[in-house]
Structure 1
Amino acid sequence: MIYLDYQATTPLAPEAREAMLRWLDGPEGTAFANPHSPHRMGRQAAAAVEIARERVAALLPPGGRVIFTGNACEAVNLAMRGSAPHRAPGIAFSAIEHPAVRDTARALGNAVEIPVDGEGLTDPAAALPEGTGLIAVMAVNNEIGTIQPVAEWSERARRNGALFLCDAVQACGKMDVPAADMIAISAHKMHGPKGIGALWVRDGLELDPQVTGGLQEGLRSGTLSPALCAGFGAAAQVAKARMEEDAAHIERLWTRARELFSGWTLNGAADPRWHGNLNIRREGLDVARLMSECREVMFSAGSACASGSGKTSHVLKAIGLSEAQAKTAIRIGFGRYTTIEQLERGAGLIEAAAEAQGA
């Protein structure tokens, strides 16, 4: 099978797997302890967690702390709900945010969308309502890959006395993440394990806990998994060391992909864009049939979080596509472990199936 769905999840890095296995020892081992226990084994597990925290923090701006969470959705909720008592109530979020941000903003109320242009880009000078206390703009969009001007948004928020939340799930480990007040990330989007994410919080920023109990993370309750933390930390360490190498590899894949799919229309800006994301459409294409006929190729018709919902992509609608156009779009994602040969074979199968439809 050919895996071309890197925005949904990434293959586990061998280094992350190795780091995790050490902390999964059973009764005959010594690495299964609760990292919050005060005895020797507990302290060893706690040390592994803190090493992992430092490695994850190395991918993020200085002057903040990393709080481990179950996933990025939880990190977003902690940021948005936890900050609510300490800021003005209004929330402004980009029209192409992940549902974790969109749905939470709407649940909290006093929320407005920041529009995007036809290339999927926001304008940091866009009008915002009086009383906006939180601005949320993602670094890289998960569906079309556009890179937002988050540094400008962060500065805009600071000038307006608002907090700035950046969903950096698709960016962290691939590029430098600009400063913000809060940054949400996920391990499995950077070749780490599923089941763990993190919220980076600027020093001095006060949040209220949203998961109460033992408050093992200070702002979050629950026993941490040393194995998941270690895997996250190892993946972060590798990502930092390989960032330039990975980016160069992805540029080669992007260039070849654009050649292979030259007859398709690109959705979103070609630049600024994370070039590991190729979202394209073709007039008359039946995407459900295409995916059924290309079972050897793992690609997407949109966000994995919305798959099966039957709803038209809010991202593609936000950039001006009609419902009919949005339903002819596919997303191809590639990265560190994708070879040119895999990309060429996958593209050939997709192209042949599309042509067989007469699209």
Structure 2
Amino acid sequence: MTIKDKTIYMDNSATTPVRKEVVEEMLPYMTENFGNPSSIYEIGKISKHAIDKARAKVANALGAKENEIYFTSGGTESDNWALKGTAFANRNKGKHIITSSIEHHAVLHTCAWLERQGFEVTYLPVDKYGMVSPEEVKKAIRDDTILISIMLANNEIGTIQPVEEIGKIAKENRIYFHTDAVQAIGHVPINVKKMNIDLLSLSGHKFEGPKGCGALYIRKGTKIDTFLHGGAQERKQRAGTENVPSIVGLGKAIELATAEIEESNKTLLELRGHLIKGLLKIPKTHLNGHPTQRLANNVNVTFEYIEGESLLLLLNANGIFASTGSACNSSSLEPSHVLTACGVPHEIVHGSLRLSLGRMNSKKDVDRVLEVLPEIVQKLRNMSPLTTKEYRTI
């Protein structure tokens, strides 16, 4: 099965298509340049050089040093390594971790696991826009706090956090600061030194790179345990034969994505504004997330009186692909923990829709969504026993 030309893909926060330039860069390392980078002969050295080149591209995109970049299998592994590795390496100093209530489950579930190992975690609340208060971070710090982990941009509602300010607070208190930047790469300019970031997670498939490949930035001097044990790959910090083609693809993708942030965001902001304006014309529709401090490609709304899963099915029938929130939690019937933390009432939280734009989207796509969606919403409201009389049609 292939995606037809007439379909509209608006779930770029879940994953993105791999760019043609990225595929072209990867192909030679699947065929003639197939050597194991740990081998000392020529084709092994070619693979090793390709990894080094990709590492330099990632470092350049983050304002980091090459020896501070470690390749992983993606954002989930990077988050696990950052939290578990830092927690256990510094447990003699303290066992307290600070995070937020709207983190990705790769962070929240890891924190829950660490609690079962004897660590203590403070889950900070957010305001109605999903924003973490730096003052709340400061208040939560204890003498035994060893790590603060706050995501750069939320994967569901797109709210961009005051990471630089939070990083400064962490630095002043000599606490390690990790940020999950999986959704932010290619949308938010990042400089780990300026933003006082000690650890940063990213994943290639969120910015038109390959799936199954990510990276963890670890500031030089950070005390962190090895996560995967085995061989001496990644300077003895992450065992396992490197996924050379994907690493090469990740390097090319982040190079392109970060170079095009300004131009890309300009286009996406125009499309986002047009989409939000049209959606809010539908009665009883609410925008979730911060109105301005949000990712340029993110639109998250809640429709009263409807259920999100039915909405997605009807959109799919019309060739429009979207989501209700995180793709990692799409099989769960639990309401969004992000929207719940933002104070969205329980009775309407299930009626959420996330439309995340990408480079392939156009105004024509947005117009089509705005043509189809009001009819779908009204159809579902007519079927719902919760819909009040004034929002039904005969």
Give the structure-2-normalised TM-score: 0.88
Name the structure, 1 or 2, with higher relative contact order (CA <8 Å, separation 6+). 1
- Give the equivalent residue in structure 2 for 1:350: 373
Distance 1:265 1:353 in 2: 16
1:257 and 2:275 matched:
yes
1:21 and 2:34 matched:
no
1:140 and 2:142 matched:
no
1:68 and 2:68 matched:
no
- In the TM superposition, what is the alpha-carbon distance from 1:346 to its structure 2 partner? 2.4
What SS is found at the alignment partner of 1:315?
helix
- In the TM superposition, what is the alpha-carbon distance from 1:154 to its structure 2 partner? 0.6
1:341 and 2:359 matched:
no
Q: Which amino acid is 2:41 matched to?
A: H
Q: Which runs of 5+ in 2 are unaligned?
A: 1-6, 382-390
Distance 1:60 1:159 in 2: 22
- Give the equivalent residue in structure 2 for 1:120: 130
What SS is found at the alignment partner of 1:199?
strand
Within-5 A mapping of 1:201-350 = 201-217=218-234, 218-263=236-281, 264-295=285-316, 296-350=319-373
- Give the equivalent residue in structure 2 for 1:188: 205
- In the TM superposition, what is the alpha-carbon distance from 1:129 to its structure 2 partner? 4.5
Asked if structure 2 preserves the Cα contact closer than 8 Å seen for 1:49 and 1:226, the reply is yes
- Give the equivalent residue in structure 1 for 2:167: 154
- In the TM superposition, what is the alpha-carbon distance from 1:347 to its structure 2 partner? 3.0
Distance 1:349 1:286 in 2: 17
Equivalent of residue 166 in structure 1, options 179, 184, 189: 179
Identity %: 34
- In the TM superposition, what is the alpha-carbon distance from 1:133 to its structure 2 partner? 1.0
What SS is found at the alignment partner of 2:299?
strand
Tell me which structure has the larger Cα radius of gyration. 2
Pick which of 128-137 and 2-11 moved more.
Answer: 128-137
Asked if structure 2 preserves the Cα contact closer than 8 Å seen for 1:61 and 1:179, the reply is no
What SS is found at the alignment partner of 1:91?
strand
Asked if structure 1 preserves the Cα contact closer than 8 Å seen for 2:189 and 2:261, the reply is no
- In the TM superposition, what is the alpha-carbon distance from 1:241 to its structure 2 partner? 2.0
Asked if structure 2 preserves the Cα contact closer than 8 Å seen for 1:207 and 1:219, the reply is no
Q: Which amino acid is 1:260 matched to?
A: G
Distance 2:109 2:307 in 1: 29
Which runs of at least 4 in structure 1 moved beyond 6 Å after TM superposition? none
Distance 1:189 1:145 in 2: 14
Distance 1:196 1:348 in 2: 37
Distance 2:277 2:88 in 1: 51
Distance 2:20 2:201 in 1: 24
Structure showing the higher helix proportion among its residues: 2
Distance 1:179 1:156 in 2: 9
Asked if structure 2 preserves the Cα contact closer than 8 Å seen for 1:119 and 1:268, the reply is yes
- Give the equivalent residue in structure 1 for 2:100: 94
Asked if structure 2 preserves the Cα contact closer than 8 Å seen for 1:118 and 1:319, the reply is yes
